[in-house]
Amino acid sequence: MTPESTGHPRGIYTLFFTEMWERFSYYGMRALLVLYMVAEVKNGGMGLTDEMAAAIYGLYTALVYMVALPGGWVGDRLMGAKAAVWWGGVTIALGHVVLGIHRTEAFFIGLVIVALGSGLLKSNMSAMVGQLYPEGGARRDAGFTLFYMGINLGALFGQLACGWLGEEVGWRWGFSAAAAGMFLGLVQFKMTQKHVVNIGERLEHEGQNLRREWMLFWTGLAAVVALTALCVAGVVPVDAQKLAQSTARIIGGIALLYFLWAFLLAGLTAVELKRLVVIVVLFLASALFWAGFEQVGSSFSIFAERFTVRKFGSWEVPASWIQALNPLCVIALAPVVAGLWAWLARGGRSPSLTTKVSWSLLMLALGFAVASWAAQRALSTGPVWPSWLMSVVLIHTLGELFLSPVGLSAVTKLSPPRLTGQMMGIWFLGSALGNILAGLLAGEVTGDATAQMPARFMDVVITSGVAGVVLLLLAKPITKLMPGIK
């Protein structure tokens, strides 16, 4: 079967496999992160408290998405999306190599390097997918769904391979496997880049002082390097939990300032301003959803390790494999959800973008209701069967499929063409805020605060449930702000 016979350009497969290997490296390493940090030093871990590990996890995953905004700016204005994807991948591979060095300082430096590379690659990769389908519509949605399958294939194999190597062979072996995955992605991208020769190029910007903006880039990068060095050397003391709280406020402030600039000073047309309102709604819903969903890498991983039956006969399932359930469910359910949208569209009953997003929040609420019951049972009677966590992951994956692929596609359609990379960065900034909040929430339900787990999970049920109902009620007015966008 050729790419043309499927209705997709050849370039989508170049981006599919590049993203697949990048996600292998990212999710493979992430599967180990909290478990490695809380493992005892005598077992090769770092011996951190649950609260500290969860805060660092939230900071790291948030930084990945935070860098997506300046990463989109670099792709838009300095080097073009294609070059940004390449250099982002090179940076990620370097970061994973540093993580493989058996020193605490190298661990934190490696995290920063991987985050910088991931942020540069993420927003520009998505922008390139959108450019492959300039006509928009259902074909672009299908392209993003295919691209999303690549993400989850990489995540599945990365979490299984790196998770097993890290827990069973040695933590550094897991981190090194992540480096190998990114290297394979770079090789594949270079060998097949002829299929994306006409997209991802840098566009000229009227009145731009390119030299000055490159100077700004190098100055900012030098500041990041200097600050990282000072923190690792202990010159600048760092309290991860307080830093996470401050970072959440900073992310919110950055998003607010950017949206104010876009509304007031970016010179957008009336139609573009209306569409920008929808992007704001997507940003807020995304932040709330990921704050709950990302418990799978923190509090749910700790719950899997300590409060879930994992031993079957003589074999014990690695705790990190709970995270692999999510991409497995995505691969299984994505065609079903895509078929549902197609079936509803044929009958003229296709739900609006806002309706789909509201459903995702309601799925999040339902999943946390199950998680709350599981936590209450585990704390009162001991470890529970893995079917509890499996149910939560399944329900949350349905919510993810209602939000993430359609949200990615919608932002590329709603964004002004000259700001596409930056708007993708804003979309990922919503994920950054969600991830930092996820780390803070995980710190409130683990360690000394484990007894609070059922009650705190019920708080998430109420918050996401109310937000989902409100969005459902506002679906029609919001849809009117984006005429012509499907």
HEC readout, 18-53: HHHHHHHHHHHHHHHHHHHHHCCHHHCCCCCCHHHH
Q: Are 153 and 314 in contact (CB under 8 A)?
A: no
SS3 248: helix
The string of pLDDT tens digits covering residues 308-319 is 998 887 888 888
pLDDT at site 388: 92
Q: What is this structure's pTM?
A: 0.83
Which pLDDT value is given to residue 4?
47
List phi, psi (to 5°) of 352: -75, 165
Q: Which of 3-12, 22-31, 128-137 is modeled with the greatest confidence?
A: 22-31
Strand locations in 304-412 (E): 311-312, 315-316
Strand-pair category, 315-316 with 311-312: antiparallel
pLDDT in tens, 349-379: 888 888 999 999 999 999 999 999 999 999 9
Q: For residue 302, which of 178, 462, 449 has the smallest C-alpha distance?
A: 449
Kindly give, in sequence order, each residue whose CB lies less than 8 Å from that of residue 93, ignoring residues fewer than 6 positions away.
25, 117, 179, 182, 183, 186
User: Sorting pLDDT into bands at 50, 70 and 90, what band is 385?
Assistant: very high
For 233, phi then psi, to 5°, come to: -75, -10
Q: CA–CA separation, 219 vs 197, rounded Å?
A: 31
User: How far apart, in Å, do the first and last CA atoms of the chain sit?
Assistant: 28
